[in-house]
Structure 1
């Protein structure tokens, strides 16, 4: 599918089809393009549109390059990021002449919200470069929202791990859920961080191209601001990753403490019942001459001795603070 957008006083207006390419068409958006659509657009624009396999290559030389007078820039962007398992795929931005061409195979939210907003509010979309900068700003805003949500969720996990002393102890199955949640948040943060790294490289390449094209001062300032925003978000993503690592270590430590407490209870129980077991073993021996066998109160005395031998270790452990 191919979508076209015309410039109308700094606003964008979507048009059906791209059979014609007027000068006012500043943005062409290719969504899951067919081979025929790619071939037709390549002939009319005079550029070589990268294939999906070429877009997924990770070398910088394959993602950021100039060819046939056009600048090709590829970044990894998330889609369906309302949950913890976003769809991460490459999106290619091509600046050719006065137009922006985007090639993508998924639906990042910015590609839905940005055209709707640009249709109502002038956002400096007179040129393809202006559309690209405004689109990248919308993408960065979306990534910031995802990181903010992840940060709130991580704070909630922290409260669950470090409960108040008066709270009910966390069960093992609850710790398992916490570990699963931490793992999902770690994957989400890692994906967003990878996306920000590709965007940081893209914005740097775009800034160099703006200097070579001698773009206006306002354009260069917007690119610098965009680069600072991407860098600050990357730092925040690194902070969240460190916090997730800390929570993971803390949760594993809590699990070890709980397991040690269980082992301690069994150890204390074994020590408490050891003296009664010894007494019962003594009086269970089959010797013919045992003085206590003829005593009237021999049996109650043996029972009392076993109970007393169990209470004394318990009291001792309690005074020492081992229980």
Structure 2
């Protein structure tokens, strides 16, 4: 009897999952398809949804003072980001099920691979959303209202690539909403500084998701799916430099607006150092970008966790200064 070689797809693993991730190694077999729907085996998306939340709460706290509730906002946003990213990805896979089976990188996802049915995926999406809603209810009324308002953006995003070359804008609108929500959870109201921080996050999202989209550009062109990777083409480096400048400039403006009126000079300097570190990381990514190398694009995309953490670290230090 001959031994067959098991590929990741044959074992149910998703093609672009982190190798040796905890879902493939430790999760019960019955739970793995659902956790894969939630991208639990690909944690970078959770980080990219969470980091703007942490920007919002830590910058607000650095400007107006730390409150014990901020610890729960910090933790609650972490749990909520994991759940809502999972619900959003499940919704994305439901809506894209007839596209994913035509793209090499995505045909191993649970629905096109036949690991779960659409009905099971819908049930899993609802469960995640309800648990996340329970966490949202622990915040103030203004933050709850913002959280509910974000659902429209989440619902629209999967369809954006069907009608515009700018689906990354819709992703940015949804993924950075946490900057508004977490700021408001701390302060009780939405300040203009949070809006500017939100815009910085949108520019950042266009930056990193364009890099990500270059992995699929050939398949996308064949099946008629649009993206900024296709729109920018060979001018991607030039365009991303513009969005990098926009993200950095807007974040610096948000920091100055939040810290100059009420925080000391040390806090302001620390906040701007966080922006400088963020800028340096994005510049490093641009210097290494090769839009025709899918592995490099994926590596740089994942590196944005570290880029987004840099401001968080400095905002926390500024809060404690």
TM-score by length of 2: 0.29
Looking at CA atoms only, which structure, 1 or 2, has the larger radius of gyration? 1
Q: Going by fraction, where is helix more abundant, 1 or 2? A: 2
Q: Which has the higher contact order (CA 8 A, sep 6+)?
A: 2
